[in-house]
Amino acid sequence: MTPFMLAYAPSDESSGQESTYAAKIDSLLSLMTIEEKLGQLNLPAAGDITTGQASNSNFAEKIRNGEVGGLFNIKTAAKIREVQRIAVEESRLKIPLIFGMDVIHGYQTVFPIPLALSCSWDMELIERTARIAAIEASADGICWTFSPMVDIARDPRWGRIAEGAGEDPYLGSQIAKAMVKGYQGDDLTQNNTVMSCVKHLALYGAAEAGRDYNTTDMSRIRMFNEYMPPYKAAIDAGAGSVMTSFNEIDGIPASANKWLMTDVLRQQWGFDGFVVTDYTAINEMIDHGLGDLQQVSALALKAGVDMDMVGEGFLTTLKKSLEKGIISESDIDKACGRILEAKYQLGLFDDPYRYCDLQRAETEIFTQEHRNEAREIAAETFVLLKNENNLLPLEKKGTIALIGPLANNKVNMPGTWSVAARFDEAISLMDGMESVVGDQAEILYAKGSNVYQDSLLEARAAAFGKSTGRDPRPEAEIIAEAVEVAKKADVVVAVIGEASEMSGESSSRSDISIPETQRNLLKALLETGKPVVMVLFTGRPLAMTWEHENVPAILNVWFAGSEAGYAIADALFGEVNPSGKLTTTFPQNVGQVPIYYSHKNTGRPLPEGVEYQKFTTNYLDVTNEPLYPFGYGLSYTNFEYSDLNLSTTSINKNQKLTVSVQLSNTGKYDGAEVVQLYMRDLVASVTRPVKELIGFQKVELQAGESKTVSFTVSEEDLRFYNYDIEYVSEPGEFEIFVGGNSRDVLTGKFSLVE
Ligand code: BGC
């Protein structure tokens, strides 16, 4: 290896303190020209280059000129080593590049989509997925991931609901922390940890009408109570970087929003990492109507943005703004210093090839061990939505008809945002069932329908080359063939729902029901009189009242990652007992959206148990109830809750209360139950939600076993942001609820006293 020559002092590896790097950063800044400083703020996408081509690629010249701070969308240790070599050998100051990627739910070993992972309610498991993702990505040259995405989302029309942890700020915060910990470990300089980038600050999930990139607008009080907590939690957990969102907040797009990026993020929350924009978000402020590229770039820098993803507004205009006195050199130095600091923290100044160990790529990516873990983890994310007469689990015997547009499809298994997946090696449900059943039962297959009968819609659902294997025959013919197959079987497994690219970025839907052709298939299958189990593929909550009313068993498997087929088969045949619980509400119809459990009471609440009452808050044509509430999910066994007990009826600010409940597994199978603790602040200076999650525990119980499950509640759990955005608790009465979902709960009461 060519020795790496430093024009400045190397970092002290023994300490990650900012102060350790400050002097080094200052001395480096003093050597840099304005152009070189602006170069550090520039993050182009690498595009596809083949190994050996890096020195001739269109960005090589820019790197030599010191016009690039990092690259993303480039992978393999070999390629990244080549590119890094240009930076550290051929540029004047030899500053290493940072290499980023969207490692969202696994790398080559793909885990379920984030929304699915959240349904495990298992923080160790979620942290483990991030850890494995970091090991694999860093073995492939990457040291920075654009994850976790922690945007609270309450609108299932928004396709990116698939990428987050659902609707709840408390659960979302726990998950945000677990992910950051998993990626970053305890020591960012280790070659198998990566820096995380929490995104998208802020409120991206509240896009109006669920249309991606759309405007958001909300009160500060809602913002701080309901949307901000997960971002803050990720920052408290030490996330090294933050990504801006595309949307506006209070009329100013995030990337120009100084209140957000400086006052809140840095001053209130104490964030000291760097801020990168989302893809071309600075340039997009021209269309938002904030000025030309020079103006919006200056606004972004002034607001607190450090790195410009793709758009090159910083690179091409900030010098002019400096000359005009619109920005100062110290604005540039601040941003540049933060990026250099991240590179110090990652250990890149000591060894720019730290993440380019060709050996690791051979032995640490897509290993059998990782794949085995992915299989086990996937099964923990499935949510059993219905199971009439214990139709599930299936027995491994007789003849099973496997029917559905994606039942024998590999490329749709990993789910949206799985850019490093080995799609051809993903496990289809057909593969998985055959492997799990072996020769104990016969599996017959028919496609049964397309995802959509409309070829235009299906083409959109098959973006990025994720073929749905479209069948050109008329609908009736495809269905008739499936009915014949079903008639020969003892039981039908109907694989119904979305293709993976029907959720994710720029995949909003105004109609969130099952596409008509698939419903026609389901009807035909049900008419055969055979028992039908519906396996649901989806990246969002769907409005599936008809399916709930007509299909006896429904297992929601989301998009379960590279080992999906095995994991689904494990659950269908009872090797694993489903224990996932929904983290977003399923509406009865799209008109109820946004619908979430922690809503306010209003001044005219509908009395409990009443379906409709004039002059109360409700609809003429649908009840207020969701189809499936937040926290909901069944098991092959039954759990019963009894004996809710509060250790005292009042606490002061320094005291704690124990809430306990008896949980019994009264069914035939061993299983795990997510016990959920909610509270309601009955009287406060501002209106409070009817329920708020403040704790949960995943408890394993053998068949017939009972356990006492206890939670500790203290004053801290009762805090919220008041009208002045102060984080306070207020004395008064509180209700406590414990149950297996947000609707079916046992209730108690206590007071917080001065
Ligand atoms: C997405 C981000 C992503 C970025 C880089 C954008 O379109 O909104 O979430 O990290 O692209 O790929």
Element holding 244 (H helix, E strand)? strand 241-244
pLDDT tens for each residue of 443-471: 999 999 999 999 999 999 999 999 999 99
The upper half-sphere exposure of residue 77, i.e. CA atoms within 13 Å in the direction of its Cβ, equals: 22
Ligand 1 proximal residues by C-beta, below 6 Å: 102, 146, 199, 278-279, 505
Task: Give the DSSP letter string of 15-46.
Answer: ---HHHHHHHHHHHHHH--HHHHHHHTEE-B-
Q: Which domains does the chain have, with CATH numbers?
A: 1-8+16-95+328-353 (no CATH), 380-592 (3.40.50.1700), 639-752 (2.60.40.10)
State what percent of residues in the chain have pLDDT above 90. Answer: 95
The residue among 539, 545, 534, 536 whose CA lies nearest residue 592 is 545
Atom number, ligand 1, closest to the C-alpha of residue 73? 12
pLDDT tops 50 at residue 130: yes
Residues identified as active-site = 278
Residue 1 has pLDDT above 70, yes or no: no
- Ligand 1 pocket test, pick from 43, 75, 505, 507 with the greatest ligand atom count within 8 Å of Cβ, gives 505
pLDDT digits (tens, 9 = 90+) for 591-645: 999 999 999 999 999 999 999 999 999 999 999 999 999 999 999 999 999 999 9
Q: Omega before 288 cis (within 30°)?
A: no
Residues whose CB is less than 8 angstroms from the CB of residue 717 and which lie 6 or more positions away in sequence, other chains included: 679, 694, 695
CA 465 to chain centre: 22
Å from CA of 417 to ligand 1 middle: 10
Q: Is 308 exposed, middle or buried (0-12, 13-18, 19+ CB in 10 A)?
A: buried
* CA of residue 385 to ligand 1 center, whole Å: 32
User: Which of 151, 163, 279 has the most ligand 1 atoms within 8 A of CB, as the residue to mutate?
Assistant: 279
Around Cβ 575, how many Cβ atoms within 10 Å? 14
Strand partners, 308: 42
Phi, psi (rounded to 5 degrees) for 494: -100, 115
Q: Which residue has a Cα nearest atom 5 of ligand 1?
A: 279
- For atom 4 of ligand 1, which residue has the closest CA? 279
pLDDT at 306 over 80: yes
Q: Which atom of ligand 1 is nearest to the CA of 149?
A: 9
Amino acid, single-letter form, for residue 128: R
Cβ neighbors of 142 (< 8 A, separation 6 or more) are 75, 80, 99, 100, 101, 103, 194, 355
**Per-residue pLDDT averaged across 735-741, rounded?**
98
Q: What is the pLDDT of residue 19?
A: 52
Residue 170 CA to ligand 1 centre (angstroms)? 25
For residue 99, the CA-to-ligand 1 centroid distance in Å is 14
Distance 255 CA to ligand 1 centre (A): 14
Of the candidates 130, 131, 125, 128, the one whose C-alpha atom is nearest the C-alpha of residue 150 is 130
Give, using CA atoms, the residue closest to atom 2 of ligand 1: 278
Q: Which atom in ligand 1 lies closest to the alpha carbon of residue 204?
A: 8
To the nearest whole number, what is the mean pLDDT of the chain?
Answer: 96
Q: How far is the CA of 151 from the centre of ligand 1 (A)?
A: 13
Length of the chain: 754
Single out the residue of 558, 545, 455, 440 nearest to residue 499, CA to CA. Answer: 558
Atom 6, ligand 1: residue with shortest CA distance: 279
> Angle CA(219)–CA(223)–CA(229) in degrees, nearest 5?
165
Tell the residue nearest (CA) to atom 10 of ligand 1: 146
Candidates 43, 73, 102: which one to mutate for ligand 1, based on the most atoms within 8 Å of Cβ? 102
Which atom from ligand 1 is nearest to the alpha carbon of 197?
10
**Mean pLDDT of all residues in 308-320:** 98
Quick one: average pLDDT of 203-230? Answer: 98
- Per residue, the 3-state secondary structure of 165-212, as one string, reads CCCCHHHHHHHHHHHHHHHHCCCCCCCCCCEEEEEEECCHHHCHHHCC
The yes-or-no verdict on residue 16 having pLDDT over 80 is no
- The SS3 of residue 335 is helix
- Give residue 175 CA to ligand 1 midpoint distance, Å: 20
Is it the case that residue 9 has pLDDT exceeding 90? no
231: pLDDT strictly greater than 70: yes
What pLDDT digit, counting tens, does each position of 538-566 carry? Answer: 999 999 999 999 999 999 999 999 999 99
Minimal-distance CA residue to ligand 1 atom 11: 279
Q: Tell me the pLDDT band of 11, cut-offs 50, 70 and 90.
A: very low
Mean pLDDT of 684-704: 98
For the stretch 371-393, pLDDT in tens is: 999 999 999 999 999 999 999 99
Residue 338 structure tokens: 């933060």
Query: Which tokens go with 229?
Result: 């907590």
Choose which residue among 278, 307, 416, 505 to substitute to test ligand 1 binding: the one with the highest number of ligand atoms within 8 A of its C-beta: 278
